[in-house]
A = this chain, B = another copy of it.
Amino acid sequence: MQPDSTDPKLIDVARMAGCSPATVSRVLNGNSAVNDAARIRVIHAAQILGYVPNGSARALRSTKSRLVGAIIPTLDHAIYATMVDGLQARLSEKGVSLIINTSTYDIDVEYEQAKLLVERGAESIILVGSTHRPKTLALLRQKRVAYVFTYTNSADSDGAAIGFDNERAGQTAGRFLLDLGHTRLAMIAGVTLDNDRARGRRDGFLKELANSGVELKSVTVLEGAYKVESGYACMEALMALPKPPTAVFCGSDILAAGALKFCRGVGIMVPDDVSVMGFDNLEIAELTAPELTTLEVPSKEMGRIAADYVLATPLQRLHMRQRELAIRLVVRGSTRPLPRR
């Protein structure tokens, strides 16, 4: 917004309404009691002049910015876009604006963006996962910016966590495939570097297999970025093994969709030749052929709950610091019991 001498300010509204700036401010903020007649005049004057308050001045004087920040890995993954959609919708209802930043899964980039958000006066920041640079969290604490981890259930001492137990989710997947009778298993995981969610899912999956007596050295785990091509390439590698798996757990529906695509291309039948399981329950999970068995992650709800948390008072927050959401197993056509041979 360019400065402009004709741009009406609060003082102009006051003049037109025949009162002091203080009264206008009171009306605008709905705070203390103001005479009804005066209130009407102020509202009317503001309307006529097309007055729009200056948020910067407001923030400066009141130390309340009504700004919240979010740093997510990317918006190109529906799971995060949906979370942000829910977050924004809820914040918007309360007149709070959301600044969004993507870190491309890089926690150093995340730090830089956190700094910028602090500078902009963000009152709270939503982060993804629980793996962050110590200096990032130190900065937020020092500047008294509330922060929330999402997609995880492990909060640190100062922040909150809204999400689920990725390790348990991985176990659930493992159990499901084991119960189907599969013993030759493999996993296409997301990149686990600096990514507690991907790591948790993998560890939980392997743990469940080990608990059931599966030899872990027989379980191939490949890692790939959350892209269709990665899923494709990893599935190709898995099926080229001397003893290919009969069931593959993928760390994301995107990877699973890529795996399905590979199978379709080379004539491998899913689920007859191999069962494929995804994670997230994205829209695509219902569009592939066969449709994907997967674990549903409540992204939209997570965004809404994160919004509720940051909108709450510090006192209310105490009861909201740990919020674990349920993960639902969605069984569709991409998995089946291991046939007896």
* A interface residue numbers (CB < 8 A to B): 1-4, 7, 50, 52-57, 59-60, 63, 65, 67, 74-76, 78, 81-82, 84-85, 88-89, 92, 95, 97-102, 113, 115-123, 139, 142-145, 228, 254, 257, 260-261, 264, 283-284, 286-289
Contacts and interface: CB of A to CB of B under 8 A. Distances in A.
A60 B63 contact: no
A100 B98 contact: yes
B52 A60 contact: no
Contact of A85 (B52, B74, B283, B286): B74
Nearest to A231: B287
A22 to B, nearest CB: 19
A121 B287 contact: no
B60 A2 contact: no
A102 B89 contact: yes
Nearest to A258: B287
Contacts of A283: 228, 254, 284
Nearest to A303: B75
Contacts of A123: 1
How many copies make up the complex?
Answer: 2
A288 B289 contact: yes
Given A1-B144, A3-B63, A82-B75, A118 B287 contact: no
Given A55-B120, A76-B81, A102-B85, A287 B286 contact: no
A150 to B, nearest CB: 15
A234 to B, nearest CB: 16
A146 to B, nearest CB: 9
A85 to B, nearest CB: 4
A193 B261 CA distance: 37
Given A56-B56, A56-B59, A92-B113, A50 B142 contact: yes
A320 B1 CA distance: 20
A116 B102 contact: no
Contacts of A102: 85, 88-89, 92
Given A1-B122, A144-B4, A88 B60 contact: no
Contacts of A119: 52-55
A54 B50 CA distance: 28
Contacts of A85: 74-76, 102
Given A85-B102, A118-B52, A283-B228, A2 B144 contact: yes
Contacts of A55: 56, 119-121
Given A4-B144, A75-B88, A76-B85, 19 more contacts: A1-B63, A1-B118, A2-B63, A7-B143, A52-B119, A52-B139, A56-B59, A56-B60, A56-B65, A67-B120, A75-B75, A75-B84, A78-B78, A88-B102, A97-B117, A99-B99, A228-B286, A261-B287, A288-B289
Nearest to A143: B1
Contacts of A75: 75, 81-82, 84-85, 88
